[in-house]
Amino acid sequence: MSESPPSKKTSKKISGFNRRAFMAGAAGATVAVPLTARAAGDAARPPAAKDASLPVDMMLRVNGADRPLSVDARTTVLDALREHLGLTGSKKGCDHGQCGACTVLIDGRRVVSCLTLAIAVQGREITTIEGLSQGDKLHPMQQAFIDQDAFQCGYCTPGQIMSAIACVKERHANSDEDIREYMSGNICRCAAYPNIVAAVKQAASQIEKG
């Protein structure tokens, strides 16, 4: 049974509080402590640690902002975003590059952030789902996913949207068949695929109009 959009809006108005704001706040609180602890230890650490057990200082550029980090060299972009920068929009599904839930753009190209080492993409422009909207105005692809009801549980949605934006930009959204082929790296366990295709088509025409 599908929930009707009006009831969603009603519940949001009554509480004045939504799940996303709560989750983001909670994540921020959790992250704040270790970040402070790390910052205190930074001064004593050599900049390029040769000892694999020591954290490495690095700078990531995320959604237009420089974000300093001191983390293990093994840290993926996905873990850096979620565990260290409080950006939990990108989702961890399989953690092996198979499901696409962690898709982000790096220098405008879609990649799986779970197989990308943070240390290797310093200085490159990382765009996540959090970097799409302009204030309260959603990106056309975000709006299209809502308009077309292109998700059920929503877990794969941030990855779907990031991938879909790139799919349009690559000019691989010219037909339903094309969209299905070039969105095949994003798995949806709820099987919202027909609506995802509809959303990509809706946004593609808007994005192309400019």
If the CB atoms of residues 144 and 165 are measured against another protein, the closer one turns out to be 165
Distance of alpha carbon 148 from its chain centroid, rounded?
20
If the CB atoms of residues 31 and 115 are measured against another protein, the closer one turns out to be 115
d(CA 95, CA 19): 24
Which residue of 85, 126, 167, 168 would you call a contact of another protein, by CB under 8 A?
167
Binding mask 180-209 for another protein (x = CB under 8 A): xxxxxxx-----------------------
> What 3-state DSSP class applies to 210?
coil
Q: 45-84: which residues touch another protein (CB under 8 A)?
A: 49-53, 56, 72-74, 76
Residue 42 is a binding residue for another protein (CB under 8 A): no
If the CB atoms of residues 53 and 134 are measured against another protein, the closer one turns out to be 53
d(CA 105, CA 71): 21
DSSP readout, 35-74? Answer: HHHHHHHGGGS-SS--STTS-EEEEEEETTEEEEEEE-TT
Which residue of 103, 142, 157, 195 would you call a contact of another protein, by CB under 8 A?
103
Q: 106-165: which residues touch another protein (CB under 8 A)?
A: 109-112, 115-117, 119-120, 163
Stretch that binds another protein, among 13-21, 44-52, 62-70, 135-143 (CB under 8 A): 44-52
> What 3-state DSSP class applies to 105?
strand
Closest C-alpha among 142, 144, 34 to residue 83: 34
d(CA 102, CA 92): 6
If the CB atoms of residues 119 and 198 are measured against another protein, the closer one turns out to be 119
* C-alpha distances out from residue 5 to 12, 147, 200, Å: 11, 10, 20
If the CB atoms of residues 24 and 180 are measured against another protein, the closer one turns out to be 180
Interacting residue ranges for another protein, rule: CB under 8 A: 49-53, 56, 72-74, 76, 95-97, 100, 103, 109-112, 115-117, 119-120, 163, 166-167, 170, 172, 180-186
